[in-house]
Structure 1
Amino acid sequence: MRDLSTSSTGARSQSQAAGDPGDDALLRRFAEGDADAARILTDRLGPRSFSVALRLLNDRAEAEDVTQEAMMRLWKMAPDWVAGQAKVSTWLYRVALNLCVDIRRKKSADSLSDVAEPESDAISATEHLQDAARLDALQFALAQLPDRQRQAVVLRHIEELPNPEIAGIMDISVEAVESLTARGKRALAQQLAARRDELGYADG
């Protein structure tokens, strides 16, 4: 499988250079048999879906499976896609989100205390142990949030999507997105506050 661990921000900047076709056009070209369009869309959208799935599931293999399944569903519906009805990326995020929810639901019997530590290669894009520890702490704290709060926080503050797009992905109002992200941020701050010294954060 293609390496999907590229940061979503980097993927956006590299794949959407000036003059690149839009997602709608690429999906239409794929439906007409253009294999290159599929490759471009995979390079553009795959890392973003993987990033979301990894943050929500905290499991690299499962995140890869979710990304593959979401892309397969995109290819299957390509002939029926109506340009302008929604953003392709929004549709794909929603599918990935729902797949993650299904996986977590199957694991619902597991205790939160049994949440697996992140794999080192899934979070380690840094040469500094302290930075790795901070990412580890953030991932663990995210895993403790209620599902909807975690989804909203990941989409807003890690993927940096606008609230209206998140509302479309999660099928809730913009006000509900704002409430979920605010509560999620407060909960994260409370969990991480106790580890400020350990993680090397200066008092502020």
Structure 2
Amino acid sequence: MSHASLALDNGANVVQAAASPAFAQERPIRAARTVDQGPDSDDDLLERIAQSDQGAFRRLVQRHADRAYGVALRILRNASDAEDVVQDTLLKVWTHRGRWTSGKAKFSTWLYRVVTNRCIDLRRLPRTEDMERAPDMPDASPDALDRMQQNAITDMLEAAMNRLPDQQRIALIFSYHENMSNAEIAEVLETTVTAVESLLKRGRQQLREILAEVRGDILQSFRDR
């Protein structure tokens, strides 16, 4: 299922849920200043959402939900938690539909900022292992063994990333996986470009050091192929 449907399932019911006072105390969102100023720009959709236009809300969700989910999933490494964060964040757009004012950030910048902060908060809560994180039963076929070796390498890289401090890891995620510029990352993290450059430099250095600890295992996996 496309994650653009997260806030669209049972359309009327979701919109009704979004109208609840759950986020009444949250800071209101700010409108986007996008390059595209056509009739379907984020700015235009937000203006229509302020008038309770459900179609505009659905269009905005379809445009941004998948990428927001990808960011949340890379930070949390848990599909259910990532879906919850994205849905809660997008519903916040509806609950604040009459309260936003023009601001300096694009809507996408605001969205990634809120998703990132909520993911960080969630990661800091005590967690227990769930069935979603339990490994599948191994498949012993040759092709499956090749995939298992590749997956093992990927898992090592992901585990190394997961050992980085949150700000460094998130900066690397935005840089490598989302292809954001340092300036864009600075907007999302509400910091300076210089600070982002420092986060990326220290993150890459620590990542190399962590991977050096397991490089023997990685190299051995290739030798055994």
TM over 0.5: yes
Q: What is the alpha-carbon distance in structure 2 between the residues aligned to residue 168 and residue 119 of structure 1? A: 36
Asked whether the 8 Å contact 1:58–1:139 carries over to 2, the reply is no
What is the aligned partner in structure 1 of residue 109 from structure 2?
Answer: 90
Q: What is the alpha-carbon distance in structure 1 between the residues aligned to residue 220 and residue 187 of structure 2? A: 38
Q: Is 1:70 aligned to residue 75 of structure 2?
A: no
- Greater mean alpha carbon deviation, residues 92-101 or residues 31-40: 31-40
- Greater mean alpha carbon deviation, residues 155-164 or residues 60-69: 155-164
Q: What is the alpha-carbon distance in structure 2 between the residues aligned to residue 45 and residue 68 of structure 1? A: 11
CA-to-aligned-CA distance 1:134-191 (integer Å, 9 cap, x gap): 4323321211101110111111111111211211211111101011011112222333
Question: Residues 69 and 159 from structure 1, CA distance in 2 versus in 1: closer, same or farther, beyond 3 angstroms?
Answer: same
Name the amino acid aligned to 1:22: S
Asked whether the 8 Å contact 1:60–1:119 carries over to 2, the reply is no
Question: Residues 68 and 90 from structure 1, CA distance in 2 versus in 1: closer, same or farther, beyond 3 angstroms?
Answer: same
Q: What is the alpha-carbon distance in structure 2 between the residues aligned to residue 25 and residue 106 of structure 1? A: 37
| Percent of matched pairs sharing the same residue | 39
Q: What is the alpha-carbon distance in structure 2 between the residues aligned to residue 57 and residue 98 of structure 1? A: 11
Question: Residues 190 and 35 from structure 1, CA distance in 2 versus in 1: closer, same or farther, beyond 3 angstroms?
Answer: same
CA-to-aligned-CA distance 1:110-140 (integer Å, 9 cap, x gap): 8xxx8x996789xxxxx97155344323321
What is the aligned partner in structure 2 of residue 149 from structure 1?
Answer: 168
Q: What is the alpha-carbon distance in structure 2 between the residues aligned to residue 36 and residue 200 of structure 1? A: 51
The one of 49, 72, 77 aligned to 2:68: 49
Aligned residues: 179
Asked whether the 8 Å contact 1:118–1:136 carries over to 2, the reply is no
What is the aligned partner in structure 1 of residue 120 from structure 2?
Answer: 101
What is the aligned partner in structure 1 of residue 219 from structure 2?
Answer: 197
Identify unmatched segments of 5+ residues in structure 2: 5-35, 137-143
Asked whether the 8 Å contact 1:46–1:67 carries over to 2, the reply is yes
Name the amino acid aligned to 1:4: H
Question: Residues 164 and 118 from structure 1, CA distance in 2 versus in 1: closer, same or farther, beyond 3 angstroms?
Answer: farther
Name the amino acid aligned to 1:85: K
Give me the CA root mean square deviation.
3.2
Question: Residues 95 and 57 from structure 1, CA distance in 2 versus in 1: closer, same or farther, beyond 3 angstroms?
Answer: same
Asked whether the 8 Å contact 1:55–1:139 carries over to 2, the reply is no
